[in-house]
Amino acid sequence: MQPSSTGLPEHIAATLCYLLGWISGLVFYLIEKKSDFVKYHATQSIIVFGVLTLASIVLGTLPFIGALLAPLLSLLAFVLWIILMIKAFQHTTYKLPWAGDLAEKYARKDLI
């Protein structure tokens, strides 16, 4: 494993992309210059947890349905958070449906 431009090993930097959800993903997306692996995980973190954050905000505005669905959304976010951090730590490019495709598209170096 090679170090990322942050000086951290790739798998550690990729894991940290998920630590604070879309916020840490955005930080690593902006500072990572060398590693496509880290850039991929940063992008996937921004997409997945950004969408989940927006969905949570929308559900918060819905009186009855929001109260029913919010706990399920929180559980989904927690499970995805754990799985994505474990897969990144294992140096695996774990690709979620649609979010993984977008992450691959936007993480390529020729787009940076």
Q: From 98, 110, 111, select the one nearest 47 (Cα to Cα).
A: 98
pLDDT at 109: 59
Distance, CA of 46 to CA of 91 (rounded, Å): 19
Question: Does the model's pTM come out above 0.75?
Answer: yes
Q: From 18, 28, 32, select the one nearest 80 (Cα to Cα).
A: 18
> Per-residue pLDDT tens for 61-74?
998 998 899 999 99
Distance, CA of 59 to CA of 111 (rounded, Å): 34
The confidence band for 1, taking pLDDT boundaries of 50, 70 and 90, is low
Element spanning 26, H or E: helix 22-31
Looking at the DSSP bridge assignments, the partners of residue 3 are 9
> Per-residue pLDDT tens for 8-66?
999 999 999 999 999 999 999 999 998 999 999 999 999 999 999 999 999 989 989 98
The confidence band for 112, taking pLDDT boundaries of 50, 70 and 90, is very low
Are 90 and 31 in contact by the 8 Å Cβ rule? The answer is no
